[in-house]
């Protein structure tokens, strides 16, 4: 075998050892817990199961530490470190490059599931054995995603510890290695740096969003495991109570993770919004919707004994959908329907198997116990809370069903050999269909607050709910009039009614709770938060306006104007040339460069009728001119309490690829080409020279003692012409220099970049007592410009604050359910 | 009939309605030839003709971008996109357009492109290796 100089193989071997150990120990734990469950009298099985799971936890930590060590020490002989990290990355991004790739994100999931398993061992008591059998099984299957071993010619999983030279054919990409074995032996000394992280991901949300999201995914195994354990142990009625707290936790964390993603997209990715209905986004919300439905039905079951069957099915489905979502995003099946799915890592069937195993497990358990499942003979009362909570949960499932059907179009094509394309205007399609479900769901979160479990006083119910509905209608009327939502489709107005109704009804419950039944506050608060999310999403997405509409650009064809589906959203801004956008005068005033970021300074000025500036601020959208990806830009946003102003630069000639990485060396002749033909002026002090965008005054001519880094001797003569340049109400100073050294004349030009000028002091004319100044002006097209897009999002703060309120509400509910568990 | 069965029927009806609505709004993949006869938007998969000119001049119109694309059947057509040029367009390997024909031009309302492997290209940079070799 070849040996290679400079490789650090130990951390990789250790990591690989731990991945195998983590799989083995998880499988061992699962089997031990299985026998512990089937032989309840033999306690040694349980002990073995625990030992197995502790070893698994230790080995997962071992994998994590090995991988972190590799990334932190910049060991680029490892493909993962080379691909996802680089020396220039700051520490917090080095940490996040850990979960930049498929393998790392599986590892993150694995890690959280290990943590959750330990919490279960500590807390689950009589449930530990069956529940941990399922969790350990899930842990073992997740571990296979990382082992990366060839079995029968088929690679199982993808290891993060694969070496660069194993992953990439170095001899092919660098032919020099093929011809020269000595060089190849020493290949590592030529791998100076890693690929680095995609600039789009270099954001603080990359540090916090994936861990949150994966904690949410990982925690969804717990309710699933409880449901299976309940069926297995025939403890049909008992499993629901402890599972509620865990489900609430998963719902809270996953919900937070999803909204974090939305906030990230809104703040720094160039989607121009917080939600784009991309299949990858949908994949995260699909299991969440079912889980929310499941939690509600579980509560129904706990309080009334109804809907056992639905609760079980929903809990089981939610976890299978987590796995399905992971299949959708990781298998490469989404192909050309999504912008940000992972590409296929050769794990298609492996991921399918993962879904199938748990789906079959769920179906088999249900089928075996089918006849014994507790069923209620009597229907729910029509005017009972449980019935309408159940209806609401089913509508959440329908909403989820729709998302699954549309996001999986590539899967249907693959299965049935069809060639159906996603809707051509997916956002509109999703918005309208999902809005219809949202109307029902929001109305129900309000109505059910006026009902009681089992039996409700009908007259009182109709009076209160009608009063609140009228109130909600009035408030909605005011809101839609003020915000302009009334211009939207009718279904969106209905959501507004539903959301306001839900907020009002739950506010009533909340106020009552403060008076006495405080334990009810959790759900009320969560529902208020949800209502606010709907209000914020609706107003900001529905009434956002592009204020950078192009009114100046020439039209290329008449058809352009006729097609309404593509508003002209981009506008070109020349440097220092203000353009009116909405109520603002907007101008691009300059750049500030802090490698690798290039910030474009965009000045916004609001002027009232009297010409007085009422408001002025600067936004700095930035761009990275990345060597590998070209221009990567992120927006900047001005936040007001009731609206946000979003500015995004698409393109600019002020930025060059590879900027900041090396000096652009060019000679004078080349430089002159960037300007229009020079104009020559003969002037004496006090004279004015006019140019297209301003004027300059020759203030004085003075002898110079030194010129920056050139040392002057007594024989040299150097004279500077002090010029005061005024362009677009801004003043600049420039002093081109004329020099004679040993009978040769030189001159040193000075540039005024902002004004697009280059000035030369080209001749002294003693006879006339004048000097000659040559003025180079940049042509209009060479002037710096940016192409930008500005969007106003009103009332988006309702969305963010609603999320926080919802999380607080769910947290209160968790405390309440835990207290109930303890008091029994 | 029991209330739950009525509700069950309603749910099934809505589910069917969802499938129909998805099916009716779903688009189709086609070629430029199909686009000429179709009057609705459709998706066309193809690749950029890198020999022909890409036109985007922000100083003239920041919302006009045109290029030539060959569809999977080999037919070529001029494509016009209302908007700025997508980043890194030249490097795209495959393009999926959504839009319809207007005269001889295909007017795209959406462009989705696949780059070889957008960021993590599996190619080691060898510039370093070459520079070094000179000094050996």
**ipTM of the complex as predicted:** 0.77
Q: Given this model, what pLDDT does residue A92 score?
A: 85
CB A756 within 8 A of CB A778: yes
For residue B68, what is the enclosing H or E element? strand B64-71
Instruction: Enter the DSSP assignment of B54.
Output: P
The two structure tokens encoding residue A93? 């991004």
Distances (CA, A) of A86 to A71, A83, A194, A346: 9, 8, 4, 26
Domain check: are A41 and A102 in the same one?
Answer: yes
B126 and A174 within 8 Å at the Cβ level: the answer is yes
Give the number of A-B residue pairs with CB atoms closer than 8 Å: 167
A114 in any annotated domain: yes
Q: Place A732 in a pLDDT band, splitting at 50, 70 and 90.
A: confident
A504 in any annotated domain: no
CB A528 within 8 A of CB A503: yes
Domain check: are A170 and A254 in the same one?
Answer: no
Give the span between the Cα atoms of A685 and B55, in whole angstroms: 48
Q: Given this model, what pLDDT does residue A129 score?
A: 95
Q: At what angle do helices A426-447 and A490-515 cross, to 10 degrees?
A: 30
* Domain C-terminal end among A422, A450, A474: A422
CB A583 within 8 A of CB B90: no
List the single range of A305-314, A362-371, A740-749 with lowest mean pLDDT. A740-749
pLDDT beyond 50 at A560: no
A607 in any annotated domain: no
What confidence tens digit (pLDDT) does each residue in A121-137 have?
999 989 999 999 999 99
Q: Place A556 in a pLDDT band, splitting at 50, 70 and 90.
A: very low
Total number of residues shown for chain B: 136
Which residues 532-561 of A have a C-beta within 8 angstroms of B?
Answer: 550, 553-557, 559-560
Query: What residues form DSSP beta bridges with A585?
Result: A580, A605
Secondary-structure percent of chain A, ordered helix, strand, coil, rounded to 5: 55, 20, 25
Torsion of CA A471, A477, A479, A484, to 10 degrees: 170
B62 and A572 within 8 Å at the Cβ level: the answer is yes
DSSP-derived pairing of the beta strands A717-727 and A737-741: antiparallel
A642 in any annotated domain: no
For residue A262, what is the enclosing H or E element? helix A240-268
pLDDT beyond 80 at A278: yes
Question: Quick one: which of A646, A782, A572 has its CA closest to B64?
Answer: A572
What confidence tens digit (pLDDT) does each residue in B31-86 have?
888 888 877 888 888 888 888 888 888 777 777 888 899 888 888 889 988 877 77
Domain check: are A250 and A150 in the same one?
Answer: no
A807 in any annotated domain: no
Give the span between the Cα atoms of A297 and A713, in whole angstroms: 92
Instruction: Enter the DSSP assignment of A424.
Output: S
Which residues 76-95 of B have a C-beta within 8 angstroms of A?
Answer: 80, 82-85, 87-88, 91, 94
A695 in any annotated domain: yes
Q: Maximum Cα–Cα distance for chain A, whole Å?
A: 117
List the single range of A351-360, B14-23, B91-100, B107-116 with lowest mean pLDDT. B107-116
Q: Given this model, what pLDDT does residue A782 score?
A: 67
Chain B nearest CA to A713, separation (Å): 40
Chain A nearest CA to B122, separation (Å): 7
Domain check: are A96 and A34 in the same one?
Answer: yes
Give the span between the Cα atoms of A246 and A817, in whole angstroms: 10
List the single range of A187-201, A207-221, A358-372, B122-136 with lowest mean pLDDT. B122-136
- Domains defined for chain B, CATH in brackets: 29-119 (2.40.50.140)
A95 in any annotated domain: yes
Give exposure, A88-120, as e/b (b: 16+ Cβ within 10 Å).
ebeeebbbbbbbbbbbbbbbbbbbbbbbbbeeb
Q: Given this model, what pLDDT does residue A664 score?
A: 39
Q: Given this model, what pLDDT does residue A212 score?
A: 96
Q: What is the mean pLDDT of residues A211-235?
A: 96
Contacts of A380 in chain B (CB under 8 A): 3-4
DSSP-derived pairing of the beta strands A597-607 and A613-619: antiparallel
A590 in any annotated domain: no
Chain A nearest CA to B32, separation (Å): 15
pLDDT beyond 90 at A191: no
Q: Indicate the average pLDDT of chain A.
A: 85
Domain check: are A223 and A294 in the same one?
Answer: yes
Query: Could you tell me if A438 lies within 8 Å of chain B, comparing CB atoms?
Result: no
Residue in A336, A572, A630 closest to B96 by CB = A336
Does the predicted model carry a pTM greater than 0.80?
Answer: yes
Question: Quick one: which of A526, A528, A529, A541 has its CA closest to A435?
Answer: A541
Query: Could you tell me if B129 lies within 8 Å of chain A, comparing CB atoms?
Result: yes
Residue in B18, B109, B130 closest to A402 by CB = B18
Domain check: are A42 and A164 in the same one?
Answer: yes
Neighbours of A721 (CB within 10 A): 25
Torsion of CA A311, A312, A314, A317, to 10 degrees: 170
Give the span between the Cα atoms of A179 and A471, in whole angstroms: 82
Helix (H) and strand (E) counts in chain B: 3, 6
Residue A596, preceding peptide bond in cis (omega within 30° of 0): yes
More confident residue, A30 or A700: A30
For an interface test with B, give the residue of A100, A190, A391, A654 to mutate (most B CBs within 10 A). A190
The two structure tokens encoding residue A65? 């530490």
Give the span between the Cα atoms of A367 and A369, in whole angstroms: 6
**Containing structural domain, residue A772:** 675-706+713-777
* Domain C-terminal end among A197, A224, A256: A197
Domain check: are A391 and A326 in the same one?
Answer: yes
Q: Place A568 in a pLDDT band, splitting at 50, 70 and 90.
A: low
Which residues 325-384 of A have a C-beta within 8 angstroms of B?
Answer: 336-337, 339, 343, 379-380, 382
Q: Into how many domains does chain A fold?
A: 3
Q: Given this model, what pLDDT does residue A743 score?
A: 76
Domain check: are A54 and A144 in the same one?
Answer: yes
What confidence tens digit (pLDDT) does each residue in A466-523 have?
999 999 999 999 999 988 888 888 899 999 999 999 999 999 999 988 887 777 789 9
Domain check: are A9 and A84 in the same one?
Answer: yes
Query: Could you tell me if A92 lies within 8 Å of chain B, comparing CB atoms?
Result: no
Domain check: are A45 and A108 in the same one?
Answer: yes
Give the span between the Cα atoms of A562 and A569, in whole angstroms: 15
Q: Given this model, what pLDDT does residue A266 score?
A: 84
pLDDT beyond 80 at A772: yes
Question: Highest mean pLDDT: which of A370-374, A747-751, A799-803?
Answer: A799-803
A159 Cβ neighbours under 8 A, 6+ residues apart: A16, A19, A103, A146, A147, A148, A149
Q: In chain A, whose CA is at the least distance from the CA of B97?
A: A424
pLDDT beyond 80 at A3: no
Q: In chain B, whose CA is at the least distance from the CA of A433?
A: B18
Q: Place A339 in a pLDDT band, splitting at 50, 70 and 90.
A: low
pLDDT beyond 80 at B1: no
Domain check: are A290 and A412 in the same one?
Answer: yes
Residue in B28, B84, B117 closest to A650 by CB = B84
Domain check: are A220 and A191 in the same one?
Answer: no
A559 and B103 within 8 Å at the Cβ level: the answer is yes
Contacts of A568 in chain B (CB under 8 A): 63, 82
pLDDT beyond 50 at B125: no
For an interface test with B, give the residue of A78, A183, A336, A786 to mutate (most B CBs within 10 A). A336
């Amino acid at each position: 075998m070849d040996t290679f100089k400079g490789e650090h193989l130990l951390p990789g071997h250790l990591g690989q050892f731990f991945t195998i150990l983590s799989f083995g120990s998880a499988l061992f734990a699962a089997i031990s817990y299985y026998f512990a469950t089937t032989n309840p009298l033999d306690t040694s099985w349980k002990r073995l199961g625990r030992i197995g799971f502790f070893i698994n936890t230790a080995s997962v930590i071992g994998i994590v530490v090995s991988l972190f060590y590799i990334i932190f020490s910049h060991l680029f002989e490892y493909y993962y470190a080379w691909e996802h990290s680089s020396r220039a990355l700051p520490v917090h991004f080095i940490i996040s490059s850990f979960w930049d790739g498929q393998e790392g994100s599986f590892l993150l999931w694995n890690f959280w599931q290990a943590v959750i398993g330990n919490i279960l061992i500590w807390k689950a008591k009589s449930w530990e054995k069956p529940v941990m059998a399922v969790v350990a099984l899930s842990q073992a299957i997740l571990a296979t995603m990382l082992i990366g071993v060839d079995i029968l010619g088929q690679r199982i999983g993808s290891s993060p510890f694969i070496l660069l030279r194993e992953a990439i054919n170095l001899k092919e990409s660098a032919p020099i290695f093929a011809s020269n074995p000595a060089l190849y032996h020493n290949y590592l000394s030529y791998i100076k740096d890693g690929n680095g992280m995609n600039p789009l991901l270099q954001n603080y949300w990359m540090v916090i969003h994936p861990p949150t999201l994966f904690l949410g995914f990982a925690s969804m195994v717990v309710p699933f495991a409880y449901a299976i354990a309940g069926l297995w142990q025939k403890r049909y009625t008992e499993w629901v109570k402890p599972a509620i707290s865990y489900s609430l936790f998963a719902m809270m964390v996953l919900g937070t993770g999803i909204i974090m993603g939305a906030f990230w997209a809104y703040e720094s990715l160039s989607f121009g919004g917080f939600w784009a209905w991309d299949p990858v986004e949908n994949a995260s919300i699909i299991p969440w919707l079912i889980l929310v439905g499941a939690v509600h039905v579980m509560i129904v079951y706990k309080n009334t004994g109804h809907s056992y069957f639905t609760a079980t099915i929903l809990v089981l489905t939610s976890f299978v959908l987590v796995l399905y979502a992971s299949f959708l995003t990781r298998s490469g099946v989404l192909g050309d329907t999504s912008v940000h799915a992972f590409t296929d890592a050769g794990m298609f069937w492996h991921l399918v198997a993962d879904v199938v195993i748990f789906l079959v497990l769920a179906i088999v358990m249900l089928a075996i116990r089918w006849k014994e499942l507790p069923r209620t003979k009597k229907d729910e009362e029509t005017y009972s809370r449980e019935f309408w909570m159940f209806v609401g949960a089913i509508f959440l499932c329908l909403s989820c069903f729709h998302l699954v059907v549309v996001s999986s179009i590539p899967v249907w094509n693959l299965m049935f050999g069809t060639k159906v394309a996603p809707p051509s205007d997916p956002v509109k399609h999703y918005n309208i269909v999902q809005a219809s479900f949202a109307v029902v769901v929001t109305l129900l979160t309000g109505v059910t607050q006026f009902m009681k479990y089992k039996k409700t006083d009908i007259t009182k119910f109709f009076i209160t709910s009608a009063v609140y509905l009228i109130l909600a209608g009035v408030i909605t009327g005011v809101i839609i009039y003020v915000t302009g939502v009334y211009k939207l489709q009718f279904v969106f107005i209905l959501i507004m009614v539903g959301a306001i109704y839900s907020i009002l009804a739950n506010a009533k419950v909340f106020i009552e709770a403060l008076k006495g039944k405080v334990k009810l506050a959790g759900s009320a608060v969560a529902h208020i938060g949800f209502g606010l999310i709907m209000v914020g999403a609706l107003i900001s997405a529905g009434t956002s306006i592009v204020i950078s509409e192009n009114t100046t650009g020439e039209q290329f064809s008449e058809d352009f104007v006729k097609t309404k589906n593509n508003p002209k959203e981009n506008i070109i801004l020349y440097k220092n040339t203000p353009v009116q956008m909405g109520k603002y005068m907007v101008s691009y005033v300059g750049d500030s460069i802090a490698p690798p970021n290039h910030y474009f300074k965009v000045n916004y000025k609001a002027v009232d009728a009297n010409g007085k500036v009422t408001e002025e601020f600067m936004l700095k959208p930035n761009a990275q001119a990345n060597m590998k990806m070209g221009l990567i830009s992120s927006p900047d946003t001005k936040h007001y309490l009731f609206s946000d102003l979003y500015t995004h630069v698409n393109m600019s000639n002020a930025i060059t690829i590879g900027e900041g990485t090396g000096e652009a060396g060019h000679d004078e002749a080349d430089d002159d080409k960037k300007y229009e033909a020079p104009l020559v002026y003969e002037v004496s002090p006090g004279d004015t020279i006019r140019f297209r965008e301003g004027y300059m005054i020759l203030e004085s001519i003075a002898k110079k003692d030194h010129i920056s880094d050139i040392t002057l001797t007594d024989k040299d003569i150097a004279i500077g012409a002090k010029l005061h340049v005024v362009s677009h109400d801004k003043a600049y100073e420039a002093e081109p220099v004329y020099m004679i050294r040993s009978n040769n004349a030189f001159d040193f030009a000075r540039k005024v970049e902002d004004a697009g000028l280059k000035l030369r002091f080209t001749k002294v004319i003693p006879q006339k007592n004048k000097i000659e100044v040559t003025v180079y002006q940049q042509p209009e097209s060479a002037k710096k410009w940016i192409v930008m897009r500005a969007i106003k999002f009103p009332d988006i703060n309702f969305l963010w604050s609603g999320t926080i309120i919802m999380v607080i509400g769910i947290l209160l509910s968790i405390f309440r359910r835990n207290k109930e568990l303890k008091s029994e | 009939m029991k209330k739950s069965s009525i509700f069950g029927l309603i749910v099934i009806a809505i589910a069917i309605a969802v499938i129909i609505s998805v099916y009716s709004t779903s688009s189709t993949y086609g070629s430029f030839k199909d686009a000429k006869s179709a009057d609705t938007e459709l998706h066309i998969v193809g690749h950029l003709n890198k020999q022909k000119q890409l036109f985007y001049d922000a100083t003239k119109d920041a919302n006009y971008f045109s290029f030539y694309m060959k569809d999977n059947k080999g037919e070529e057509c001029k494509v016009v996109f209302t908007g700025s040029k997508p980043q890194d367009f030249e490097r795209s390997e495959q393009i999926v357009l959504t839009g319809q024909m207007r005269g001889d031009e295909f007017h795209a309302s959406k462009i989705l492109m696949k780059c070889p492997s957008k960021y993590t290209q599996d190619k080691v940079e060898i510039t370093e290796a070459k520079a070094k070799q000179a000094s050996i």
